[in-house]
């Protein structure tokens, strides 16, 4: 092969690579139910979908401690940032929140795991009052 052929082959192989692995856009749709009485625990299921066409069914668990009392059900969506591969979304995220709700209420929260963040928003029903802290865990179903 001559030099020009090698350059063309190299250019074609580079063109086949994604522009940037960090350009992967992923979202989460979920439904969770939970309770709290000093210790907060919620769990549910969801699906992560990414711009490359891949999707992943997931289990979600939120737990922590603090001064909380209540019961709730939340359905919502989330948008990830900093994802290179769909499996990057799995793991534990740090959380912190303050709540005061009765009946239907909206909720928004950002959780982080190293360079990955997840902005969550949802609509819930129930009664909840307090301040909690802990973790938001996404695992494969």
User: What is the Cα–Cα distance from 93 to 133, expressed in whole angstroms?
Assistant: 11
Kindly tell me the sign of the dihedral angle through the C-alpha atoms of 130, 134, 140, 141: negative
pLDDT digits (tens, 9 = 90+) for 82-125: 999 999 999 999 876 555 555 566 667 888 899 999 988 877 77
Structure tokens at 91: 């793991």
Residue with tokens 């009052």: 129
pLDDT in the model for residue 11: 35
Specify the CATH number of the domain 20-140: 2.40.128
Domain boundaries of the chain, sorted by first residue: 20-140
- Residue 134's pLDDT is 75
Name beta bridge partners: 85: none
- Dump pLDDT digits (tens) for 11-56: 333 333 344 545 799 999 998 888 776 667 888 999 999 999 999 9
Per DSSP, the residues of 89-113 read G-EEEEEEEEEEEEEEEEEEEEEEE
Q: What local confidence, expressed as pLDDT, does residue 67 receive? A: 54
Q: How far apart are CA 109 and CA 129, in angstroms?
A: 16
Predicted TM-score (pTM) of the model is 0.73
């Amino acid at each position: 092969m001559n030099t020009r052929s090698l350059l063309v082959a190299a250019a074609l192989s580079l063109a086949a690579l994604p522009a940037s692995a960090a350009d992967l856009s992923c979202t989460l749709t979920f439904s969770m139910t939970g309770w709290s009485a000093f210790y907060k625990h919620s769990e549910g299921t969801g699906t992560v979908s990414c711009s490359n066409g891949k999707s992943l069914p997931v289990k979600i668990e939120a737990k922590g401690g603090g001064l909380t009392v209540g019961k709730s059900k939340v359905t919502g969506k989330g948008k990830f940032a900093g994802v290179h591969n769909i499996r990057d979304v799995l793991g534990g995220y740090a959380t912190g929140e303050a709540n005061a709700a009765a009946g239907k209420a909206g909720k928004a929260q950002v959780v982080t795991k190293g360079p990955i963040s997840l902005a969550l928003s949802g609509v819930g029903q129930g009664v909840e009052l307090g301040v909690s802290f802990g973790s938001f865990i996404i695992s494969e179903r």
